[in-house]
Amino acid sequence: MMFRIARSREGGEINHYDLYKIQTRKGMTVLDALFQIQDKMDASLSFRYSCRGAVCGSCAMLINKEPRLACRTQVSMVIDQSMKLKPFPPIIEVPHGWDKETEILIEPLPNFPILKDLVVDMTKFFDALEELKLWESPTDGDETRIQSPKDRKKIERYVNCILCAICFGSCPVNYEKEEYLGPAALAKAWRFNQDTRNPDAKKYLESAQQPKGTPMCDLIMNCVKACPKGVAPGGAIRKMK
């Protein structure tokens, strides 16, 4: 199996693609293949990873023009998989020489500045979470806040967000409008708004409804199709709208 991987210098754009031949094995993931390249062929290849078990979200990247977690994407299944995303420029642009029938194309997650190779700067993604103040800070003397299983069920899918930023990377609005807060931050605002343990849940909804929040979303739903944890940010945004 051949891997065609986007390469760049530190702090720059993609300037070329390198081709590597991978020795595949049963059950091999794209992350396994990247380790093989780094360990045996090219130690300069840069990419992020941590848990290797689809929990941390660190290894999000563009795989055959679809945003996925490298640690849970099987090499043997990549060519036949399709999320049927609505396209936007970083996904439409195909590098010269890529043979999609025999090669797996690996590129950095779209809508973020590239730091090096497959590593992107996610500052604006986390800044959106900070801006909406997506947390609850109990005051001194607060008693334990009890929640029923039924109420917990209402927010469970949104709690499952692992902050991989795949929704952000697949969103055409994030590509066109840099100020847009993005699907993950807005879905988390809905999660806190629906959490029965919050004494002032309304504030999360109000913060999400600022001009660069829910009003800017076009409900394209790439975020729903691409989310590896089934969070469905677009559904939460539609409810807030």
**Could you tell me what percentage of the chain is helix, strand and coil, using 3-state DSSP and rounding each to the nearest 5?**
35, 15, 50
Confidence (pLDDT) at 199: 86
**Residue 129 and residue 94 share a domain:** no
**Residue 232 and residue 182 share a domain:** yes
Confidence (pLDDT) at 137: 78
3 state SS of 106: strand
**Residue 132 and residue 226 share a domain:** yes
**Residue 99 and residue 160 share a domain:** no
| Interval 56-81: pLDDT, tens | 999 999 999 999 999 999 999 998 88
If we measure between CA atoms, which residue out of 217, 220, 222, 207 comes closest to residue 237? 217
**Residue 152 and residue 49 share a domain:** no
| Interval 203-219: pLDDT, tens | 999 999 999 999 999 99
Pairing type for strands 2-7 and 103-107 reads parallel
**Residue 112 and residue 10 share a domain:** yes
Confidence (pLDDT) at 90: 87
103 - beta bridge partners?
A: 2
- pLDDT over 90, % of the chain: 87
What CATH number does the domain containing 231 carry?
Answer: 1.10.1060.10
**Residue 111 and residue 24 share a domain:** yes
**Residue 41 and residue 128 share a domain:** no
Cα(197)–Cα(73) distance, integer angstroms: 36
pLDDT confidence band for 196 (50 / 70 / 90) = very high
Cα(176)–Cα(56) distance, integer angstroms: 27
| Interval 117-170: pLDDT, tens | 999 999 999 999 999 999 887 776 677 888 999 999 999 999 999 999 999 999
Cα(65)–Cα(60) distance, integer angstroms: 12
Q: What pTM was computed for the model?
A: 0.93
Q: What are phi and psi of 192, to 5 degrees?
A: -75, -30
